[in-house]
Every structure is written in structure tokens, then in C-alpha cells.
């Protein structure tokens, strides 16, 4: 099932929680310049698909996608980067954050369990997933997985408490809780409904997560990214934790292959793009114009960043709908140089192997397809035919 950018409003802003020790990856160099955004090329067809924050992944051998079919089911497909389907299985529609791509293939949650579809077409059950799980990540080994849960301990609206956990499962071994924290009304940044763990990605360095207000998706056009003010990485073995971002005005949008972090600063429209490493800001680029920005993707070597901007007049908060005019921008991180192209309502999903993978939907919303974008020329190649509710899950 493909969600839209439109999201419900969530009360109250996040307030930063203190994190554990931060380790700098290298000697930081700070850059602050203004960036004038160049004129956009002609738009291609618009789109209304979204995703959780992307998984960190190697150069892709295959792309994992969901494709709507008749009735209440959809295909979970593994395809080559050129769009040829090599394996598929029929699944009941599930939320995007409950499907995943990993080293072993394509993954989905159903009937209280986690399943894997391999390139050969074989399906296997990995282990249990509780009904209250809100998101699932696949480990670098392709067989381990993690999920987040949030359970009410007190239903009194004026004195609520939520038990939040992150649990890791290695097939054949007992499930291991690696994060266990209670949110209460005493937390000044929780809002009226508390907060949940939001799983971001799982790399060799650990599991990246954010704490976000409970009760639904993030307000405005980039979903949970608008709420991820505090984020960190936890080592599932040692349980050591490193803060990634800690700013209420600059929530996390992506984590790079070297654990670089990028956020879009601004209390409403985006004022700047901020890059950090080991908790230290290394680049801060002021932006001209007033737009919302999000859906960031680092290149394989973290030298470039792809991201989307949309006009503030197309804000998707409070149930407002209408078409989205997304502009894809690719920045050279060292210099701040940007190239751009208007893409309708395009959402990028993964950048690997020299291609930005994403999805496009017709103006009516009736048809959608998968595309690959050349990050240098911004030329677009279609990877699939028109199909309702088609979206990229990730790459493997």
C-alpha cells in the first residue's frame, strides 16, 4: 500500500534529549555560503508516493518494489536496475515502513511474522513480529531484523505513559531488547500523545533511530522527517549510543555511508542545509527562496546530496491536498553547487550505483511507475510500465 505525502498534524515540537558520547570521524571543516537555486528544467509527470527514510545500501544488484494488483493484494517484486522482474510474491497491502529490502532479498510483515522473498523466488519465514510493531529494519546480514513497539502503560490522558522498545531478532536466538524507555506526560517535548521510536536504517555501525511524537505521521510535506529532531545510532551488541542530531529546528533527513548526517533547518520553510559528522557541523549552506525541503539521499561516496524542494504554497499539513510540484536538486557537498530539475510530485527512494531510483505518478493519481535518474544530467529513464500504486521499497 502506498501512502501519500499528506499527513496528520501532531501537536507540540520536540525538545532535545541528551545523547551518549559523540565520536568525530575526522577533523571537521565548516563551510557557510549562500546558494542561489538555479532555474528548473521542464517538469515531467507528477507523483504522489512517499517512503520512510532510506536504508543505507551498497551498489544495487536488484531493486525491490511494490506493485498494486486487482482486489486487495499487491506484488512484492525483485527486479534488476533496468526493470526486469526476477522474483515476486503476492502480499496483502502493508504500510511502506513494514516492507524492506536487504542483503537476502525483499521482506514484509504479515500474520505476526517477518518473511523474506529471495532472488530465486523462494519464500521463508524469519521469525515473529508483534502486532504493535510500527516499523521493521533488516540487518546487514540479511537474516536479522529489528522492530519498534510502543505500548500504553496508562490510559489517563492527563497522566499517560508509553513503553517504547527497539527489539532485535537473530533467527534461532531469543529476541533481544536493545532500547527500553518510557515516555510520560512529564517529558516536556512529547506533546499530548507521547513519543515513539522511529527506525531509520541499519548499517555495520548500528541501528539509527529517531524519537518522534506519537499519534501518526509528521505534519507537512516530508512526513516523519519533519519530526526527527533527536536521532542517534545504537550498537545492537554493546548497546553503546552515539547522537546523530539534536536540534528541534533541524530534524534528520538522511544518514550517509560514513555516518554523515544532513538536516534542513528552519522553523517553517527551509532556510539552510546543514551537514554534520560525529555531532559536529561540517557544512552549513544558506538557501535562497522559501521552500520545504526533504527526502535527502547521499551518494555512495557522500560527495553529493540529492533532495526535493516544494513550494510553501503546496504545504500538505492539516489535510490540505492538491498537486505537488517537486524539484529534484543535486548538490556538490564540498562546494554547494546545485543542479535541479522540476519533477512533478517525484519522491526519490535510493541512490546507488550512479542512479537515483524513485517513483512517478500521473497527474490524476491513477497510474504510477518506477524511474532511474542520472544524478549528473538529471535525465530520467522509466523502469516499469504504468501501474496503480507502484513504489520502490529499496535496493539490495
Domain extent listing, the chain: 32-395
The percent of residues in the chain predicted with pLDDT above 70, rounded, is: 72
Summarised one tens digit per residue, pLDDT across range 102-157 is: 999 999 999 999 999 999 999 999 999 999 898 899 999 999 999 999 888 876 66
Q: What is the pLDDT of residues 295-311, one digit of tens each?
A: 999 998 999 999 999 88
The stretch 28-54 carries a mean pLDDT of 34
pLDDT of residue 320: 54
Return the C-alpha torsion angle 221, 224, 225, 229, nearest 10: 130
Find out whether 356 and 297 touch, Cβ atoms under 8 Å.
Answer: yes
**Average pLDDT of the residues of the chain:** 77
Residue 211 pLDDT greater than 70, yes or no: yes
pLDDT tens-digit map of 3-18: 334 332 222 222 222 2
Distance between CA atoms of residues 375 and 337, nearest Å? 13
Continuous H helices in the chain = none
CA–CA separation, 384 and 122 (whole Å)? 23
The Cα–Cα gap between 183 and 272 comes to 31
* 244-289 confidence digits (pLDDT tens): 877 767 888 899 888 889 988 876 778 889 998 877 889 999 887 7
Kindly tell me the sign of the dihedral angle through the C-alpha atoms of 131, 396, 278, 229: negative
Non-local CB neighbours of 238 within 8 Å, separated by 6+ positions: none
Nearest to 148 by CA among 212, 72, 235: 212
Contact 366, 388 (CB under 8 A): yes
CATH superfamily, domain at 32-395: YVTN repeat-like/Quinoprotein amine dehydrogenase (2.130.10.10)
Tell me the pLDDT tens digit for each residue of 170-197.
988 999 999 998 876 666 455 556 778 8
- List C-alpha distances in Å: 261 to 69, 233, 347: 37, 11, 19
Amino acid 185: pLDDT: 60
358 contacts: CB under 8 Å, gap ≥ 6? 47, 346, 347, 348, 349, 370, 371, 373, 392
Residue with cell 536479522: 144
The pLDDT value given to residue 87: 97
Write the pLDDT tens digit of every residue in 358-380.
988 776 667 788 899 999 999 99
Q: Helices (H) and strands (E) in the chain — how many of each? A: 0, 28
* Of 46-55, 309-318, 363-372, the least confident: 46-55
Mean pLDDT of 347-358: 90
Q: Which of 313, 384, 318, 378 is nearest to 348 (CA)?
A: 378
pLDDT, one tens digit per residue, over 61-94 is 899 999 888 667 889 999 998 889 999 999 987 7
Q: What CA–CA distances, in Å, run from 193 to 103, 167, 199, 218, 341?
A: 36, 22, 19, 13, 39
Q: Is the dihedral of CA 280, 54, 377, 273 positive or negative?
A: negative
Which pTM does this prediction carry? 0.78
Residue 97 per-residue DSSP state: G
Amino acid at each position: 500500500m502506498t501512502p501519500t505525502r499528506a499527513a496528520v498534524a501532531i501537536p507540540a515540537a520536540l525538545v532535545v534529549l541528551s545523547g551518549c558520547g559523540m565520536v568525530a570521524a575526522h577533523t571537521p571543516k565548516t563551510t557557510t555560503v549562500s546558494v542561489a537555486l538555479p532555474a528548473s528544467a521542464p517538469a515531467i509527470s507528477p507523483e504522489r508516493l512517499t517512503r520512510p527514510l532510506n536504508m543505507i545500501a551498497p551498489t544495487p544488484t536488484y531493486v525491490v518494489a511494490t506493485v498494486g494488483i486487482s482486489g486487495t493484494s499487491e506484488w512484492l517484486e525483485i527486479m534488476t536496475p533496468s526493470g526486469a522482474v526476477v522474483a515476486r510474491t503476492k502480499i496483502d497491502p502493508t504500510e511502506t515502513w513494514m516492507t524492506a529490502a536487504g542483503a537476502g532479498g525483499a521482506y514484509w510483515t504479515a500474520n505476526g511474522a517477518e518473511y523474506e522473498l529471495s532472488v530465486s523466488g523462494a519464500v521463508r519465514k524469519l521469525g515473529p513480529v508483534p502486532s504493535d510493531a510500527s516499523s521493521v529494519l533488516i540487518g546487514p546480514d540479511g537474516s536479522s531484523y529489528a522492530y519498534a513497539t510502543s505500548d500504553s502503560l496508562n490510559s489517563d490522558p492527563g497522566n499517560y505513559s508509553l513503553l517504547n522498545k527497539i527489539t532485535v531478532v537473530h533467527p534461532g536466538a531469543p529476541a533481544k531488547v536493545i532500547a527500553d524507555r518510557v515516555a510520560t506526560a512529564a517529558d516536556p517535548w512529547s506533546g499530548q500523545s507521547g513519543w515513539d521510536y522511529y527506525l531509520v536504517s541499519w548499517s555495520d555501525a548500528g541501528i539509527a533511530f529517531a524519537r518522534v511524537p506519537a499519534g501518526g505521521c509528521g505534519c507537512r510535506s516530508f512526513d516523519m522527517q519533519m519530526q526527527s529532531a533527536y536521532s542517534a545510532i545504537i550498537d545492537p551488541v554493546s548497546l553503546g549510543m552515539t547522537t546523530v542530531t539534536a536540534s528541534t529546528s533541524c530534524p534528520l533527513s538522511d544518514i550517509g555511508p560514513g555516518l554523515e548526517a544532513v538536516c534542513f533547518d528552519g522553523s517553517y520553510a527551509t532556510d539552510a542545509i546543514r551537514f554534520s559528522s560525529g555531532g559536529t557541523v561540517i557544512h552549513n549552506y544558506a538557501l535562497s527562496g522559501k521552500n520545504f525541503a526533504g527526502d535527502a539521499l547521499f551518494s555512495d561516496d557522500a560527495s553529493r546530496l540529492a533532495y526535493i524542494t516544494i513550494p510553501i504554497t503546496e504545504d500538505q499539513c492539516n489535510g490540505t491536498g492538491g498537486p505537488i510540484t517537486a524539484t529534484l536538486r543535486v548538490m556538490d557537498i564540498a562546494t554547494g553547487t546545485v543542479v535541479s530539475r522540476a519533477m512533478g510530485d517525484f519522491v526519490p527512494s535510493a541512490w546507488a550505483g550512479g542512479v537515483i531510483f524513485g517513483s512517478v505518478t500521473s497527474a490524476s493519481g491513477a497510474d504510477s511507475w518506477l524511474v532511474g535518474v542520472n544524478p549528473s544530467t538529471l535525465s530520467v529513464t522509466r523502469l516499469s510500465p504504468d501501474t496503480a500504486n507502484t513504489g520502490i521499497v529499496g535496493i539490495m
